[in-house]
Amino acid sequence: MRLRLMEATVDCLVELGWAGTTTTVVSKRAGVSRGAQLHHFPSKQDLVVAAVGHLTERRREDMRRAAADLPETGRTRAVLEILSQQFVSPIFFAALELWVAARTDAGLRAEVAPLERRVGRETHAYAVELLAIDESRGDNRRLVQATLDLLRGLGLAASLSDDTKRRAAVLDSWAVVLDDELEVS
């Protein structure tokens, strides 16, 4: 029931945005009584923060499976593709709603900022692992950070219009840059 509520929350954020996501709408969509919803998540804030946090974890498991068969040739581009998918997925758009709402809501920000830092650290570690680099070498650490900032920027662009083709071209170029600039162990 907790999971159903969290999944309905992310669906609502994606379809209706922050303002349209009320606990009433979520309960109805999840087919859960108001009482049960309030028992699991006393406020909209509790519900939304838990939902985005939990589903981000699950999304990472999907990525882990996708990473199982990375090609030898064109590995960097394939890694960028896997990471990029995380930033154009429904869970990213749901997180974006949460993030932007938190900018002007101090109470929400107090919960969202640590969640974002944790997710950021985990995604960074995962990118390092997929790229199979030693991040203490050369400028590797900053290059990975720049890659994740780039992917976040591409995700934001994708939220407004479908720019799949442009994104693919930018990532093609970025893969070449990384292959040039990363110091491999």
Site residues, a second copy (CB under 8 A): 15-20, 93, 96-97, 99-105, 109, 112-113, 116-117, 139, 142-143, 145-146, 148-157, 159-161, 166, 169-170, 172-174, 176-177, 180-181
Q: Which is nearer to a second copy, 35 or 104 (CB)?
A: 104
Q: Which is nearer to a second copy, 1 or 168 (CB)?
A: 168
Closest approach of Cβ 121 to a second copy, in Å?
Answer: 12
Taking the C-alpha atoms of residue 132 and residue 128, their distance in angstroms, rounded to an integer, is 6
Residue 96: how many CA atoms within 13 Å on its side-chain side?
21
Closest approach of Cβ 78 to a second copy, in Å?
Answer: 18
Q: Which is nearer to a second copy, 36 or 148 (CB)?
A: 148
Long-range contacts of 25-33, Cβ-Cβ distance < 8 Å, separation of 24 or more: 30/1, 30/4, 30/5, 31/4, 32/1, 32/4, 32/5, 32/8
Q: Which is nearer to a second copy, 41 or 87 (CB)?
A: 87
User: Nearest-CA neighbor of 55 among 108, 104, 105, 97?
Assistant: 97
Tell me the two tokens of residue 17: 């945005």
